[in-house]
Amino acid sequence: MDLVNHLEGRLLFAVPKKGRLNQSALDLLAGCDIQFRRETRLDIALVKNLPIALIFLPAADIPTFVGEGRVDLGITGRDQVAEYDAGLPADEVSGVEELLDLGFGVCKLQVQVPQKGDITDARQLIGKHVVTSFTALTQQFFAKLEGAEDTSKLRTKIKYVGGSVEAACALGVADGIVDLVESGETMKAAGLKPIDTVVESTAVLVKSKNSNNELVDLITSRIRGVITAKKYVLCQYNIPREKLATACKITPGKRAPTVTALEDPGWVAVSAMVEKSNIATVMDDLEGVGATDILVLNITNSRTTP
Protein backbone atom coordinates (compact mmCIF):
# COMPACT_ATOMS: atom_id res chain seq x y z
CA MET A 1 0.00 0.00 0.00
CA ASP A 2 2.90 2.36 0.79
CA LEU A 3 4.32 1.90 -2.72
CA VAL A 4 0.90 2.56 -4.26
CA ASN A 5 0.73 5.84 -2.33
CA HIS A 6 4.20 6.82 -3.61
CA LEU A 7 3.10 6.23 -7.21
CA GLU A 8 -0.10 8.26 -6.86
CA GLY A 9 -0.03 11.34 -9.11
CA ARG A 10 3.24 10.37 -10.82
CA LEU A 11 3.81 9.75 -14.50
CA LEU A 12 4.73 6.09 -14.91
CA PHE A 13 7.63 5.64 -17.34
CA ALA A 14 8.62 2.10 -18.41
CA VAL A 15 12.33 1.54 -19.13
CA PRO A 16 14.09 -1.65 -20.35
CA LYS A 17 15.48 -3.33 -17.24
CA LYS A 18 18.31 -5.09 -19.10
CA GLY A 19 19.50 -6.04 -22.56
CA ARG A 20 20.70 -4.08 -25.56
CA LEU A 21 18.47 -1.02 -24.96
CA ASN A 22 19.07 -0.60 -21.24
CA GLN A 23 22.24 1.52 -21.07
CA SER A 24 21.30 3.79 -23.97
CA ALA A 25 17.91 4.40 -22.35
CA LEU A 26 19.57 5.29 -19.04
CA ASP A 27 21.96 7.67 -20.83
CA LEU A 28 18.95 9.32 -22.46
CA LEU A 29 17.25 9.81 -19.09
CA ALA A 30 20.45 11.36 -17.69
CA GLY A 31 20.55 13.78 -20.62
CA CYS A 32 16.96 14.78 -19.77
CA ASP A 33 17.96 15.53 -16.14
CA ILE A 34 15.70 12.77 -14.84
CA GLN A 35 17.36 12.13 -11.47
CA PHE A 36 16.75 8.87 -9.66
CA ARG A 37 18.38 6.16 -7.61
CA ARG A 38 17.44 2.57 -8.30
CA GLU A 39 17.81 0.36 -5.28
CA THR A 40 19.37 -3.05 -5.89
CA ARG A 41 16.88 -5.64 -7.15
CA LEU A 42 14.00 -3.14 -7.18
CA ASP A 43 12.19 -2.51 -10.46
CA ILE A 44 10.60 0.80 -9.42
CA ALA A 45 12.55 4.03 -8.89
CA LEU A 46 11.06 7.38 -7.89
CA VAL A 47 12.48 10.39 -9.75
CA LYS A 48 13.78 13.02 -7.33
CA ASN A 49 13.22 16.22 -9.33
CA LEU A 50 9.98 15.41 -11.19
CA PRO A 51 6.73 13.60 -10.31
CA ILE A 52 7.75 10.51 -12.28
CA ALA A 53 8.22 6.86 -11.34
CA LEU A 54 10.46 4.69 -13.51
CA ILE A 55 9.23 1.12 -13.95
CA PHE A 56 11.96 -1.29 -15.09
CA LEU A 57 10.48 -4.01 -17.30
CA PRO A 58 11.63 -6.43 -20.01
CA ALA A 59 11.53 -4.56 -23.33
CA ALA A 60 9.15 -7.20 -24.73
CA ASP A 61 6.60 -6.45 -21.98
CA ILE A 62 6.62 -2.67 -22.29
CA PRO A 63 4.19 -2.41 -25.26
CA THR A 64 1.63 -4.44 -23.29
CA PHE A 65 1.88 -2.22 -20.22
CA VAL A 66 1.70 0.91 -22.38
CA GLY A 67 -1.09 -0.43 -24.59
CA GLU A 68 -3.25 -1.36 -21.62
CA GLY A 69 -2.67 2.03 -19.99
CA ARG A 70 -0.78 0.60 -17.01
CA VAL A 71 2.06 3.07 -17.68
CA ASP A 72 2.06 6.42 -19.48
CA LEU A 73 5.34 6.26 -21.41
CA GLY A 74 7.83 3.62 -22.41
CA ILE A 75 11.10 3.01 -24.23
CA THR A 76 11.24 -0.21 -26.22
CA GLY A 77 12.07 -1.53 -29.69
CA ARG A 78 9.84 -0.93 -32.69
CA ASP A 79 10.02 -4.70 -33.22
CA GLN A 80 8.42 -5.25 -29.81
CA VAL A 81 5.63 -2.79 -30.60
CA ALA A 82 5.03 -4.54 -33.93
CA GLU A 83 4.92 -7.92 -32.17
CA TYR A 84 2.38 -6.59 -29.66
CA ASP A 85 0.21 -5.09 -32.42
CA ALA A 86 0.39 -8.27 -34.51
CA GLY A 87 -0.86 -10.29 -31.55
CA LEU A 88 -3.99 -8.20 -30.98
CA PRO A 89 -7.42 -9.50 -32.06
CA ALA A 90 -8.43 -8.24 -35.50
CA ASP A 91 -11.16 -5.99 -34.04
CA GLU A 92 -8.94 -4.42 -31.34
CA VAL A 93 -7.13 -1.11 -31.90
CA SER A 94 -3.63 -0.77 -30.46
CA GLY A 95 -3.31 1.47 -27.43
CA VAL A 96 0.33 2.24 -28.22
CA GLU A 97 1.30 5.49 -29.96
CA GLU A 98 4.87 6.01 -31.20
CA LEU A 99 6.17 9.48 -30.33
CA LEU A 100 9.87 9.47 -31.26
CA ASP A 101 12.49 7.39 -33.01
CA LEU A 102 15.34 7.40 -30.50
CA GLY A 103 18.09 6.49 -32.94
CA PHE A 104 19.73 3.61 -31.04
CA GLY A 105 19.16 -0.13 -30.89
CA VAL A 106 19.09 -0.44 -34.68
CA CYS A 107 18.50 -4.03 -35.80
CA LYS A 108 16.45 -6.23 -38.13
CA LEU A 109 14.06 -9.09 -37.47
CA GLN A 110 15.23 -11.53 -40.12
CA VAL A 111 14.43 -14.94 -41.48
CA GLN A 112 17.62 -17.02 -41.21
CA VAL A 113 18.41 -20.49 -42.55
CA PRO A 114 21.52 -22.75 -42.55
CA GLN A 115 24.27 -21.47 -44.83
CA LYS A 116 24.92 -24.93 -46.26
CA GLY A 117 21.27 -25.67 -46.98
CA ASP A 118 19.42 -25.23 -50.27
CA ILE A 119 16.82 -22.74 -48.95
CA THR A 120 17.30 -19.29 -50.47
CA ASP A 121 13.78 -17.86 -50.28
CA ALA A 122 11.41 -17.56 -47.32
CA ARG A 123 8.65 -19.15 -49.40
CA GLN A 124 10.62 -22.40 -49.28
CA LEU A 125 9.94 -22.54 -45.53
CA ILE A 126 6.17 -22.74 -46.03
CA GLY A 127 4.99 -25.96 -44.37
CA LYS A 128 8.31 -26.40 -42.53
CA HIS A 129 9.37 -25.73 -38.93
CA VAL A 130 10.35 -22.19 -37.89
CA VAL A 131 11.51 -21.20 -34.40
CA THR A 132 11.25 -17.65 -33.02
CA SER A 133 10.51 -15.53 -29.98
CA PHE A 134 8.38 -13.25 -32.20
CA THR A 135 5.52 -15.65 -32.89
CA ALA A 136 2.84 -13.08 -33.80
CA LEU A 137 4.99 -11.28 -36.38
CA THR A 138 6.29 -14.58 -37.75
CA GLN A 139 2.78 -15.99 -38.12
CA GLN A 140 1.68 -12.79 -39.82
CA PHE A 141 4.68 -12.87 -42.16
CA PHE A 142 4.20 -16.49 -43.24
CA ALA A 143 0.42 -16.14 -43.49
CA LYS A 144 0.98 -13.55 -46.21
CA LEU A 145 3.42 -15.84 -48.01
CA GLU A 146 1.03 -18.78 -47.73
CA GLY A 147 -1.77 -16.67 -49.17
CA ALA A 148 0.39 -15.41 -52.01
CA GLU A 149 1.51 -18.93 -52.86
CA ASP A 150 -2.07 -20.31 -52.62
CA THR A 151 -0.89 -23.27 -50.58
CA SER A 152 -3.99 -23.52 -48.40
CA LYS A 153 -3.15 -27.05 -47.29
CA LEU A 154 0.30 -26.04 -46.06
CA ARG A 155 0.83 -24.15 -42.84
CA THR A 156 4.23 -23.17 -41.54
CA LYS A 157 4.82 -24.71 -38.11
CA ILE A 158 5.94 -21.87 -35.84
CA LYS A 159 7.32 -22.66 -32.39
CA TYR A 160 8.20 -20.24 -29.58
CA VAL A 161 11.70 -20.28 -28.08
CA GLY A 162 12.66 -17.57 -25.60
CA GLY A 163 16.46 -17.61 -26.02
CA SER A 164 19.33 -19.04 -28.07
CA VAL A 165 17.06 -19.10 -31.13
CA GLU A 166 20.11 -19.29 -33.41
CA ALA A 167 20.89 -22.80 -32.12
CA ALA A 168 17.55 -24.26 -33.25
CA CYS A 169 18.65 -25.26 -36.75
CA ALA A 170 21.90 -26.87 -35.62
CA LEU A 171 19.99 -28.90 -33.04
CA GLY A 172 17.48 -30.09 -35.61
CA VAL A 173 14.55 -28.28 -33.99
CA ALA A 174 13.81 -26.04 -36.98
CA ASP A 175 14.41 -25.57 -40.70
CA GLY A 176 14.69 -21.82 -40.22
CA ILE A 177 14.46 -19.15 -37.55
CA VAL A 178 13.18 -15.59 -37.21
CA ASP A 179 15.32 -13.53 -34.85
CA LEU A 180 16.79 -10.09 -34.23
CA VAL A 181 20.07 -9.34 -35.98
CA GLU A 182 22.37 -6.40 -35.26
CA SER A 183 25.80 -6.98 -36.85
CA GLY A 184 25.00 -10.49 -38.10
CA GLU A 185 28.18 -11.95 -36.62
CA THR A 186 26.32 -14.18 -34.15
CA MET A 187 24.24 -15.67 -36.95
CA LYS A 188 27.29 -16.27 -39.13
CA ALA A 189 29.02 -18.01 -36.24
CA ALA A 190 25.96 -20.23 -35.88
CA GLY A 191 26.17 -21.17 -39.57
CA LEU A 192 23.11 -19.14 -40.61
CA LYS A 193 22.40 -16.70 -43.43
CA PRO A 194 19.57 -14.13 -43.89
CA ILE A 195 17.02 -14.68 -46.65
CA ASP A 196 14.36 -12.10 -45.76
CA THR A 197 13.55 -9.27 -43.34
CA VAL A 198 10.31 -9.25 -41.36
CA VAL A 199 10.72 -5.77 -39.85
CA GLU A 200 13.45 -3.17 -39.35
CA SER A 201 13.70 -1.83 -35.83
CA THR A 202 15.12 0.89 -33.65
CA ALA A 203 14.40 2.09 -30.12
CA VAL A 204 11.27 4.24 -29.86
CA LEU A 205 9.50 6.35 -27.26
CA VAL A 206 5.89 5.21 -27.00
CA LYS A 207 2.86 6.64 -25.21
CA SER A 208 -0.35 5.08 -23.97
CA LYS A 209 -3.33 6.45 -25.88
CA ASN A 210 -5.16 6.33 -22.55
CA SER A 211 -2.73 8.72 -20.85
CA ASN A 212 -3.61 12.37 -20.24
CA ASN A 213 -0.63 13.19 -18.03
CA GLU A 214 0.69 16.68 -18.87
CA LEU A 215 4.27 15.57 -18.23
CA VAL A 216 4.21 13.45 -21.40
CA ASP A 217 4.78 16.54 -23.56
CA LEU A 218 7.54 17.84 -21.29
CA ILE A 219 9.46 14.56 -21.30
CA THR A 220 8.98 14.15 -25.05
CA SER A 221 10.39 17.64 -25.62
CA ARG A 222 13.39 16.93 -23.41
CA ILE A 223 14.13 13.64 -25.13
CA ARG A 224 13.82 15.25 -28.56
CA GLY A 225 16.31 17.90 -27.43
CA VAL A 226 18.84 15.31 -26.29
CA ILE A 227 18.50 13.36 -29.54
CA THR A 228 19.02 16.53 -31.59
CA ALA A 229 22.06 17.47 -29.53
CA LYS A 230 23.64 14.08 -30.23
CA LYS A 231 22.84 14.25 -33.94
CA TYR A 232 23.93 17.81 -34.71
CA VAL A 233 26.86 20.15 -34.14
CA LEU A 234 26.95 23.95 -34.44
CA CYS A 235 29.04 25.16 -37.36
CA GLN A 236 30.23 28.78 -37.30
CA TYR A 237 32.22 30.59 -39.99
CA ASN A 238 32.88 33.90 -41.71
CA ILE A 239 32.08 34.37 -45.40
CA PRO A 240 32.22 37.24 -47.93
CA ARG A 241 28.71 38.69 -48.25
CA GLU A 242 28.56 38.04 -52.00
CA LYS A 243 29.11 34.31 -51.35
CA LEU A 244 26.55 34.04 -48.54
CA ALA A 245 23.82 32.48 -50.70
CA THR A 246 26.19 29.74 -51.88
CA ALA A 247 27.40 29.04 -48.33
CA CYS A 248 23.83 28.85 -47.00
CA LYS A 249 23.07 26.09 -49.50
CA ILE A 250 25.89 24.11 -47.86
CA THR A 251 24.66 24.89 -44.31
CA PRO A 252 20.90 25.48 -44.50
CA GLY A 253 20.47 24.67 -40.80
CA LYS A 254 17.37 23.03 -39.37
CA ARG A 255 15.20 25.98 -40.37
CA ALA A 256 17.63 28.67 -41.55
CA PRO A 257 21.18 29.75 -40.66
CA THR A 258 21.81 32.67 -38.33
CA VAL A 259 23.59 35.49 -40.18
CA THR A 260 25.33 38.34 -38.31
CA ALA A 261 26.97 41.41 -39.81
CA LEU A 262 30.67 41.97 -39.07
CA GLU A 263 32.54 45.26 -38.70
CA ASP A 264 33.84 44.73 -42.22
CA PRO A 265 30.77 45.46 -44.39
CA GLY A 266 31.91 42.94 -46.98
CA TRP A 267 31.75 40.00 -44.55
CA VAL A 268 29.16 38.20 -42.41
CA ALA A 269 29.31 35.54 -39.69
CA VAL A 270 27.11 32.46 -40.05
CA SER A 271 25.95 29.89 -37.48
CA ALA A 272 24.05 26.76 -38.50
CA MET A 273 23.23 23.33 -37.12
CA VAL A 274 24.82 20.58 -39.22
CA GLU A 275 24.43 16.83 -38.93
CA LYS A 276 27.49 15.49 -37.13
CA SER A 277 27.96 12.70 -39.66
CA ASN A 278 28.37 15.23 -42.51
CA ILE A 279 30.49 17.87 -40.81
CA ALA A 280 33.86 17.02 -42.41
CA THR A 281 32.43 17.30 -45.94
CA VAL A 282 30.57 20.50 -45.01
CA MET A 283 33.79 22.09 -43.75
CA ASP A 284 35.60 21.13 -46.96
CA ASP A 285 32.81 22.61 -49.07
CA LEU A 286 32.72 25.83 -47.03
CA GLU A 287 36.46 26.28 -47.37
CA GLY A 288 36.08 25.71 -51.09
CA VAL A 289 33.66 28.65 -51.46
CA GLY A 290 35.80 31.06 -49.44
CA ALA A 291 34.66 30.62 -45.84
CA THR A 292 37.24 31.31 -43.12
CA ASP A 293 37.53 30.79 -39.36
CA ILE A 294 35.35 27.67 -39.55
CA LEU A 295 34.55 26.37 -36.07
CA VAL A 296 32.56 23.33 -34.97
CA LEU A 297 30.99 23.28 -31.49
CA ASN A 298 29.30 20.40 -29.71
CA ILE A 299 25.68 20.88 -28.61
CA THR A 300 25.07 19.54 -25.11
CA ASN A 301 21.29 19.98 -25.22
CA SER A 302 18.66 21.70 -27.32
CA ARG A 303 15.04 22.64 -27.84
CA THR A 304 14.28 22.64 -31.55
CA THR A 305 11.23 22.14 -33.70
CA PRO A 306 10.92 18.68 -35.33
Is it the case that residue 115 has pLDDT exceeding 50?
yes
pLDDT at res. 197: 96
Query: What is the fold, at CATH topology level, of the domain defined by 232-298?
Result: Alpha-Beta Plaits (3.30.70)
Nearest to 201 by CA among 59, 40, 73: 59
Is it the case that residue 4 has pLDDT exceeding 70?
no
Task: Annotate the chain with three-state secondary structure.
Answer: CHHHHHHCCCEEEEEECCCCCHHHHHHHHHHCCCCECCCCCCCEEEECCCCEEEEEECCCCHHHHHHCCCCCEEEEEHHHHHHHHHCCCCCCCCCEEEEEECCCCCEEEEEEEECCCCCCCHHHHCCCEEEECCHHHHHHHHHHHHHHHCCCCCCCEEEECCCCHHHCCCCCCCCEEEEEECCCHHHHHCCEEEEEEEEEECEEEEEECCCCCCHHHHHHHHHHHHHHHHHEEEEEEEEEHHHHHHHHHHCCCCCCCEEEECCCCCEEEEEEEEEHHHHHHHHHHHHHCCCEEEEEEECCCCCCCC
Nearest to 220 by CA among 34, 20, 5: 34
Average of per-residue pLDDT values in the chain = 92
Q: What is the CATH number of domain 107-201?
A: 3.40.190.10
Q: What percent of the chain has pLDDT over 90?
A: 76
Sequence ranges of the domains in the chain: 2-103+203-213, 107-201, 232-298
Pick 153 or 107 by higher pLDDT. 107
Whether the domain at 107-201 and the domain at 232-298 fall into the same CATH topology: no
pLDDT at res. 150: 60
Is it the case that residue 2 has pLDDT exceeding 60?
no
pLDDT at res. 155: 84
pTM score of the predicted model? 0.86
Is it the case that residue 302 has pLDDT exceeding 80?
yes
Q: What percent of the chain has pLDDT over 70?
A: 95
What pairing do the DSSP bridges indicate for beta strands 11-16 and 73-77? parallel
Is it the case that residue 183 has pLDDT exceeding 70?
yes
Name, in order, each residue with C-beta under 8 angstroms of 291's C-beta and a sequence gap of 6 or more: 237, 238, 239, 243, 247, 270
Average pLDDT over residues 68-78: 96
Query: What is the fold, at CATH topology level, of the domain defined by 2-103+203-213?
Result: D-Maltodextrin-Binding Protein; domain 2 (3.40.190)
pLDDT at res. 304: 77
pLDDT at res. 1: 41
Residue-wise pLDDT for 196-241, tens only, equals 999 999 999 999 999 989 999 999 999 999 999 999 999 999 999 9
Residue-wise pLDDT for 122-180, tens only, equals 999 999 999 999 999 999 999 998 876 665 567 899 999 988 898 988 888 899 999 99
